Chain A
Amino acid sequence: MTAVTHDQPGPQALSPQEEHRTDTVLAARDDARGRTGRRAEAMPYLPAASSPYVPAGVDPEGLVWAETVAGGNYTHKVVAAGTHVRLEDVEGTACAHLLLFNALEPWERLNVADTMKIPWQAYLGAGHPLLSGDGRVLATLVADDSGHHDGFCGSLSDAAAIAKYGACAPESASPSGRSLFTLAAAKHGLTPRDLPPSVSFFQGVRVEEDGTLTFTGSAGAGRSVELVAEMPLIVLVATSPHPLDPRPDYTNGMLRVHAWRGAPTAAGDPLRDTSPEIHRAYLNTADYLTARGL
């Protein structure tokens, strides 16, 4: 077997095995180590401060998570209370499906119905709290220059992905959001029982008077949303098309994630007092964290 590198292509097409010398342990080790330092369009950046895409105004040294996520993929992280999480639609074709769990008691999790009902507002935008089913704020949406989001349609189920694209498995060309969430959840010991309805960012939906759900698509490339974790959170993100996306091809571009250290929304912050309901939601969160010694 002859070792051939990409810099020195052989005279003829080579099978993958022929491109690598891996006939002994040491050769295999050298071959594996030879991959060090390669870059991919979608990848995490470690340490996060080394991100090539640090958002304007953010101290790189404060970054705790920096990643570009491919369409049809997923990412996940446990973040401390106060962490700011920024999601950016790089190409204008991303759809970021989000689930949040209390990292201390993950059966407390995002409740989409309460997130829309309690603030008396179905459409997500800056200042909107993401509520759990336990009357507490998991995170606050503090910045949004897209406005094209959705809490009605969730992510693609397996059956919907198969009906529309012919396949749903995570390794297929058209992963369902559900299959991606299932994997992301499994990394934290969570199972399909733990997957409630999700919200999605960057592809919009509006409700007509007769209830018709109208897809309004993207607000364009480079738009972002920023969340603040109000308690320690398990964050799951799946990137897959919006269920109402009319494009026949599986269309889902890159998502960029940056997160950095910060503080939860503090008492006295106007965001905590936008309404009496929201004020009490922050009170409940503070009560919970105080009793836990956090």
Chain B
Amino acid sequence: MVRAPGRRSGPDHRGRRRQPIGDCLLFNADDTDERYSVPDTLAWQGNAYVRTGTVLRSTLGEPLATVVANEVDRQDTIGGACSKESNTLRYGHHTLTEHACRDNFLAEGSRYDLGARDMVSNLNWFMNVPVEADGALGIVDGISGPGRRVAFRAEKDLLVLVSNCPQMNNPCNEFNPTPLRMIVTDPEEHR
């Protein structure tokens, strides 16, 4: 739980390797029916990528958080989370037993009475998903690096779910999950 207003939290990764990925879902802590909305965030700003200044909007179109600092060119929110099931599509049925972000969301969400109905498209801190001119879209080599950071400020009291992506089959995290550091700053320090 991250309290608002003016409170700032920031995933930050300092892995030994280059880039862990922080798959992230946001919920209004007081009413989890209001949750992060990719389309509202993108349509409101008229841009497909998340950068400094992006207001992360809810299903009601209201601000949940604002990206206040960002050390990579663009952050992804269109690539979605990996799941055991989508891994079977992307890589084959031999990957079904591997860990995946959607299961991490479901496991952590279950502590707050959230389930499959509450899973929506998410943020992918540090992931690189370009959309090419013909609509070709995919997860490619990262544009992040050791020690790069992003920070967002909660505009409402939030429930924040983060999965350090355990994917071992694609370049989002260089085929190798590494530690992701997350610092939540006491809002009192920012008054």
Contact = CB atoms under 8 A, between A and B. Distances in A.
Interface of A: 107-108, 111-114, 116-118, 120-123, 131, 133-136, 152-155, 157-160, 163, 178, 191-198, 207, 209-213, 243-244, 277-278, 280-281, 284
A135 B33 CA distance: 24
Contact of A135 (B37, B89, B122): B89
A274 to B, nearest CB: 13
A158 B62 CA distance: 9
Nearest to B35: A193
A114 B89 CA distance: 10
Interface residues of B, number: 51
Contact of B90 (A118, A193, A196): A118
B89 A153 contact: no
Given A121-B137, A133-B85, A244 B43 contact: yes
A27 B129 CA distance: 66
B47 A113 contact: no
B74 interface: yes
B190 interface: no
Interface in B46-105: 46-49, 57-62, 74, 78-81, 83-90, 92-93, 102
Nearest to B85: A135
A57 B43 CA distance: 38
Contact of B38 (A134, A135, A197): A197
A244 B37 contact: no
Interface stretch (B9-17, B111-119, B142-150, B158-166): B111-119
B131 interface: yes
B151 to A, nearest CB: 20
A158 B34 CA distance: 12
Given A157-B40, A213-B47, A116 B60 contact: no
Given A196-B120, A281-B89, A159 B46 contact: no
Contacts of A244: 43, 46
B59 A160 contact: no
A159 B61 contact: yes
A191 to B, nearest CB: 7
A197 B121 contact: yes
B39 interface: yes
A294 B58 CA distance: 38
B169 to A, nearest CB: 12
B183 interface: no
B33 A191 contact: yes
Given A152-B48, A157-B37, A133 B131 contact: no
B83 A135 contact: yes
B79 A197 contact: no
Contact of A117 (B58, B116, B120, B138): B138
Given A135-B85, A157-B58, 9 more contacts: A108-B116, A112-B121, A113-B78, A116-B78, A122-B78, A135-B86, A135-B87, A195-B59, A280-B93
B89 A118 contact: yes
Contact of A159 (B39, B60, B78, B90): B60
Scoring B88, B102, B122 by chain A CB atoms within 10 A of each residue's CB, the highest score goes to: B88
Contacts of B129: 117
Contact of A113 (B37, B38, B44, B57): B38
B63 to A, nearest CB: 9
Contacts of B85: 133-136, 284
A170 to B, nearest CB: 15
A123 B135 contact: yes
Contact of A193 (B33, B46, B102, B135): B33
A278 B122 CA distance: 23
Contacts of B133: 209
A207 B59 contact: no
A247 to B, nearest CB: 15
A281 B43 CA distance: 29
Contact of A157 (B60, B83, B88, B121): B60
B80 A154 contact: no
Contact of B60 (A108, A120, A158): A158
Nearest to A160: B61
B137 A116 contact: yes
Given A133-B83, A160-B43, A192-B59, A207 B131 contact: yes
Contacts of A153: 39, 42-43
B117 A158 contact: no
B61 A198 contact: no
